[in-house]
Amino acid sequence: MMNGMFEDSNMHCKPNALVGNFGWFLQGLLATLAFLCLIIKRFCEPKYDRRPWKVWFFDTSKQGLGSLLMHSANLLLAGQIQGDPCKRYMIHFLLDSSFGLLMIFFGIRFSQHIARVKNWESFNFGEYGKPESVRIWLIQCGLYLSLLCCVKIVITLLISLDIWLVLTEFIMSPFTDPRTELTIVMFIIPLFINVSKLQKHYFYDH
């Protein structure tokens, strides 16, 4: 059954490969490792600089919801466009992790600026009041998810440029086996980028 998801004339991923059994296995494995990395990172932080569990949960759940939104959008968009969905997903993910991350950074900074100017505590990302408020967390989740939707719209427009597909074809050209391609796109590249982000945050904080 899995083999049928990959077989075509060019030995590349078929449209349902991303959401096939092997694809879901890779996604579940990646999500598990990403969560474990967050737990490990927390316990590697100095105790004096460690966030309370409630604040940690608010931060990580907000990021988790955002990651789920972007991942779901990427799966949907990659499957809707004609061509190799693995390569399409890879384009979306790489742009999300570079240009999209830059847009998110400036969006959050703008929200924090508004929070200072207007004295709107709920717009100050990462701060949830004293004591921590679920209402403020919900507002920040809404702001964050709205920002991600704007980012995804811009990136989807950027992907219409042929240069991204050419670049992806070049990167993936050494790999002809469809399962290898799916593993690289859905597991290895996302895991490498997520671990790199964690390392960067750790060294910047120390």
Quick one: pLDDT band at residue 198, thresholds 50, 70, 90? low
Give the whole-angstrom CA distance, residue 189 versus residue 181.
11
Give the whole-angstrom CA distance, residue 88 versus residue 77.
8
The secondary structure of 34-98 as a DSSP string is HHHHHHHHHHHS-GGGPPPHHHHHHHHHHHHHHHHHHHHHHHHHHHHSSS-HHHHHHHHHHHIII
User: What tokens does 8 get?
Assistant: 């075509």
Q: What is the rounded radius of gyration, in angstroms, for the C-alpha atoms of the chain?
A: 19
What would the pLDDT profile of 19-66 be if each residue is shown by its tens digit?
Answer: 889 999 999 999 999 899 888 888 887 787 788 889 999 999 999 999
Average pLDDT for the chain? 85
pTM: 0.83
What would the pLDDT profile of 141-179 be if each residue is shown by its tens digit?
Answer: 999 999 999 999 999 998 888 788 788 888 888 888 888
User: What tokens does 150 get?
Assistant: 């704007």
- The domain segmentation of the chain, as residue ranges, is 3-205
pLDDT at 6 over 50: no
pLDDT: which is higher, 99 or 160: 99
